[in-house]
Amino acid sequence: MKKIILRLIIIGLIIGSTAIALVLLPNVKSGNKTEYLLIHKGASYTEVIDSLQNKSSVISVTSFNIISRLIGYPKKIKEGRYELKGGMSNLKLLNNLLKGRQKPARVTFNNIRTKELLCQRLSQQLMFDSLELHKLLSDNDFLKEYGLNSENSVTVFIPNTYEFFWNISATKFFERMYREYQAFWTATRMEKAYMLKLSPLEISTLASIVEEESNMESEKPTIAGLYINRLKTGMPLQADPTIKFALNDFNIKRVFFKHIEATKNSPYNTYLKKGLPPGPIRIPTIKSIDAVLNYESHPYLFMCAKGNGGCGHDFTKTFNEHIKNANRYRKQMDKLGVQ
């Protein structure tokens, strides 16, 4: 900044005090919601000016234009996400722009089912294109180095809020998320997974099914225990959400035989194929992962959504008990016209 100030002082001595005022006086309104100037890779100076003109907090784009040209900024543009803080002068803003001093972006993602939606959500918050990340998460040669593949690569994304520089590359972003994933799997969590004879990837896959089955946190450990019982006895999981995932149709209210038949060749058909599917059917939350790791130990093998219009499920030990609940649920759905 010292070099900029010295240069501007010399310019001020030449053209007068007006230039100094343009430099030092606030050019960002105070009291407004903080805005950010996003400069994409390869952006032209004209594009930077156009972006500033669309910011309601900037007082005078003309004064910024005058000063930036005087100090040669148009030839020194750096990509990034720059804060337009209330009371900021042209001098402060240009100093940040010239030095590439970005304001980190707080990136949040949750409630995401598919890889495509994940990439779209992240590309809305960071500079890289959604296709860049999607290609990376589908590249088995790249993923092999991390012990992953295209089916389970999304497991490294633990839903939370993180800080990133906006112009981070898709590759660097993945590397950071992988480190976060490793940090998440503490010795305690790893020990619990080991006791279940499941890998962290398998835990996440099971957690994704549990999460799709219920939005009631209180019954997730019970559902997790039920599926663990099925895995231990060699019984197919028979999880309806996996059929919806295989069909890529999450609007299905009831799974019928026609849906099972249509997905008979899919590795996600848990009615016809024993064990866990090859990857998660959504990105599970931390609570859902921990619900599996801290599952409820019980004898239940069957569950059915309550047929009385209530929330949650009825859990049973025997198939005969389950059939009673299933018939009650079926009649309720038929009465309501739910297909």
pLDDT digits (tens, 9 = 90+) for 198-222: 999 999 999 999 999 999 999 999 9
> Over 51-89, what HEC string results?
HHHCCCCECCHHHHHHHHHHCCHHHCCCCEEEEECCCCE
Task: Return the closest-CA partner of residue 95 out of 7, 220, 209, 21.
Answer: 7
Query: Dihedrals φ, ψ of 39, to 5°?
Result: -115, 115
One-letter amino acid of 157: F
Distance of CA 2 to the CA centre of its chain: 41
pLDDT averaged over every residue in the chain: 92
Task: Return the closest-CA partner of residue 231 out of 280, 277, 185.
Answer: 277
Query: Dihedrals φ, ψ of 70, to 5°?
Result: -65, -35
Token pair listed for 176: 């950071």
Helices (H), 196-256: 200-213, 220-233, 240-247
β-strand partners of 302: 316
Helix (H) or strand (E) holding 84: strand 80-84
Measured CA to CA, the distance from residue 133 to residue 115 in angstroms comes to 9
Token pair listed for 244: 């919806």
Q: At what angle do helices 200-213 and 240-247 cross, to 10 degrees?
A: 100
pLDDT, position 114: 95
β-strand partners of 304: 314
Give the pLDDT band of residue 11 (cuts 50, 70, 90). Answer: low
CB 138 within 8 A of CB 203: no
pTM: 0.89
User: Residues 5-27: what's their mean pLDDT?
Assistant: 64
Would you say residue 309 has pLDDT above 70?
A: no
Token pair listed for 56: 């309601």
Would you say residue 29 has pLDDT above 60?
A: yes
Give the pLDDT band of residue 331 (cuts 50, 70, 90). Answer: confident
Rg (alpha carbons) of the chain, rounded to whole number = 28
Regarding predicted confidence, which is higher, 311 or 133? 133
pLDDT, position 5: 56
* DSSP secondary structure letter of residue 58: B
Give the pLDDT band of residue 306 (cuts 50, 70, 90). Answer: confident
Cα angle at 268 between 252 and 285, to 5 degrees?
75
Where do we find the tokens 């209180």?
Answer: 218
Helix (H) or strand (E) holding 192: helix 187-195
Distance of CA 87 to the CA centre of its chain: 34
Would you say residue 14 has pLDDT above 50?
A: no
Measured CA to CA, the distance from residue 38 to residue 93 in angstroms comes to 13
Measured CA to CA, the distance from residue 71 to residue 266 in angstroms comes to 62
User: Residues 148-170: what's their mean pLDDT?
Assistant: 97
User: Residues 177-206: what's their mean pLDDT?
Assistant: 98
CB 304 within 8 A of CB 322: yes
User: Residues 33-41: what's their mean pLDDT?
Assistant: 94
